[in-house]
Every structure is written in C-alpha cells, then in structure tokens.
Structure 1
Amino acid sequence: MPKFVITGAAGAGKSTLIAALAAEEYTTVPEAGRQIVAEQLRSRGTALPWLDRVAFMQLLFERSIAAFDQTGNPTDQAVFFDRSFIEAIAYGSMIGHPAPQSMLQAAAARQFDAPVFVCPPWREIFTTDDERRHDFEFAVRDYQANVVAYRAAGYELVEIPRVSIQERVAFITGQLARLQTFRPSNPA
C-alpha cells in the first residue's frame, strides 16, 4: 500500500488538504498532534506543547508509529498521512531534546513512499485556536525543522503550491499519476 505523508508548517492547510483527499475517496490518516492536544485538554493532562514538551513529543511519536503500523493491506491504493513520526523527531530538535536512538531506529524501520508533500508557511491562512496556540514565527520554524528532518531521513520533498484546495488536490494527484497509477481506496 503506497503511503504518502503531507508535512510542512503548522497552519499551512495540511488538514484541509487531507479532508479534500478523503472527499476524493482516498484513505487518509489524521494528524496525531491535534488529537493528542484535544485529549490532553479534555482530561486536564500535561502532555501539551506548552506544558510538558518532552511528554508531548513521546506521545506524538508513539501515536504516529501506531497509525503507520495499523495502515495495512498491501494494494495499489494510496494512503495519505497528515504528518508523521518524523515530525516528532523534528519537534525534538526544536525543543532541544534530540530524539533517542530508539526513536530513530523505529522511524528508519518504517518508510513512506516518495515524494513527501510539503505545505510551506502561508501567513494568509494561518490561524490559532485552542489546539494551536503558537504564532506564525513558530510555524516557520516548524516548517524548517520538518524539512531538515525529512531530508536527514533520506526523503525526496515536493512543495505544494499556495493555491486553492482544488488545485492542491490536482497537484498531488498529478504527481502521483507521474509516478504510477494510484487509485482512490474506495473507487466509485
């Protein structure tokens, strides 16, 4: 099963793009980070990026690895992940807590298909909310750390243009068509 990841800056439209791909009948995997933040807020937990960054990093990595491992059934149907375990490694570098060797080994044992799609920082659509409390400057650093981490892991990166959501979906499906013919997971 081809597994593709969409990474990039916080607030750059990744989740909107994932939702649009799901509407096109592709299998998608939501971002673990926002799920963790929502759960921690509901349970009054502390594994939050503004309280216990190392605990957040660890949960982010574990959830992202589990999501990757749970996506099975080898077929030619593409699956799109909203971020991945590589982001946990990138986040560790941002907070001054390098990923332990065990994380690096677990990440190296799992590979996404090429290319990795990257959403660059986009100030015009960037917003904050209860789960995203950081500013745009943090989003730029997030983007830079993610690009560095994916490149260090050996991935080919393709930047998604800052265009309408329909054009972004067309860009991705066009990229896939050039690689091979991948069909949506639930063709109509």
Structure 2
Amino acid sequence: MPRYVLTGAPGAGKTAILRQLELDGHVVVEESATDVIALQQARGVGKPWEEEGFIDEVIRLQQRRQGAVRSATAFFDRSPVCTLALSRYLGFAPTPLLADEVERVVTANAYASTVFFVRNRGFVEPTAARQISYEDSLVFEQLHEQTYRELGFRLVEVPAARLDERVALVRHAAERHIA
C-alpha cells in the first residue's frame, strides 16, 4: 500500500492536514524531528538540532515508525529525505546512517514517488520546536523541494488554502494514485 509523504516549510500546515486525514480514518505517522526536539528540550537541551547526534536520532525514530506501518495506506509527516534537507540546512554533512537510510528508501521505493509539498501560509508561528523566521523557512522550503526533486520524487503542490481544500486535494491526488 502507498506511503505518502507530506513535506514543506516549518509551520506550513502539514500537521493540520494529517490530523484531518487521521480523523477521516487514514493511518498517519507523526513527524520524528519535532518529537526528538520535544524530548530533548524536556531533558534540558535548549536547541537539540545543534547537538551532535540529532540527525541520527531523527533517522532512528523515522525507521521505527516506518517499520510499524504494515498494510494500510499511510500519510507520513516528513521522511528521511526531509531529514537530509534538514541536515543540509543545518550545514551538517550527511551521517552514514542518514545516507544509508535515504539510499534505502529511494531504491526500495519505501514511499510513494508522489510527495505532497505543502506550501507555506505566508507566516510562521514560533513554537518551542519551531524557532525559525519566515525568511529562513522559505530557504528551508526551497531546500526541501530541491532535495526531493534531486532524488526523483514527483511533487504535488498543496497551496496555501483553507484546511478542507488542502485535505481534499491530498485525498483526491492519493485516490488517483492508488487507482
């Protein structure tokens, strides 16, 4: 069954789309980086993304979550390709674990080749895990787009719109892909 990725800039609305898909009965998988950040911040690390080992922690959690999804069509809030874009954004060379995982998911077609690219909404609301300016989020967005295209994924644009319109677009495109 297809495993779809939703990607885009921080604060673009990916999680809201996933929450609605989940309420509609679809299997969804949470974003790993946000959860790693939250746990590390709870342990007293102010900016975990600056710590050595952060990227590998994200990859390990993504691997566990991907392995837990068995037979249903699923929608993932980001993927290891996003983690590669994050690594590039942070100025880190890809770790061996990251490089191996990206190669694995690409060659094994672990995710659908169609990726939903959720465009920014024109602003970013800061959170404890999302400490990025709107301007920097645009750079991050462009880097995600470039990384997915470079690895051969087809991006389906999910423009800024009302939540119901965005969810309908994702649902419609996924149904067409499945059929």
* Number of the residue aligned with 1:88: 83
- Over the matched positions of the two proteins, sequence identity in percent amounts to 23
**Aligned pairs, number:** 175
Shift of 1:45: 3.5
Structure number with higher helix proportion? 2
RMSD of the alignment, in Å?
A: 1.7
- The residue correspondences of 1:5-84 to structure 2 (distance < 5 A) are 5-45=5-45, 48-49=48-49, 51-52=50-51, 54-73=52-71, 77-84=72-79
Deviation of residue 7 (structure 1)? 0.3
User: Among residues 94, 98, 101, which one is paired with 1:99 in the alignment?
Assistant: 94
CA contact (8 A) 1:5 1:84 kept: yes
Kept in 1, the 8 Å contact 2:2–2:178? The answer is no
| CA drift at 1:118 | 0.5
The separation in 1 between residues aligned to 2:119 and 2:34, in whole angstroms, is: 19
Query: Normalising to structure 2: TM-score of the pair?
Result: 0.89
Matching residue's letter, 1:20: Q
Q: Give the whole-Å Cα distance in 2 for the aligned partners of 1:153 and 1:165.
A: 29
Distance in 2 (alpha carbons) for counterparts of 1:130 and 1:116: 27
Q: Is the 8 A contact 2:2 2:74 kept in 1?
A: yes
Cα contact 2:55–2:87 (8 A) shared by 1: yes
Distance 2:47 2:4 in 1: 27
What amino acid does structure 2 have at the position aligned with 1:97? Answer: F
Conserved 8 A contact 2:26-2:74: yes
Gaps of 5+ in 1: 182-188
Gaps of 5+ in 2: none
1:121 matches 2:116: no
CA distance in 2: counterparts of 1:137 and 1:47, whole angstroms: 19
Q: Which moved more, 1:129-138 or 1:12-21?
A: 129-138
> What is the DSSP-based 3-state SS (H/G/I as helix, E as strand, rest coil) of the residue aligned with 2:117?
strand
**1:65 CA drift (Å):** 2.2
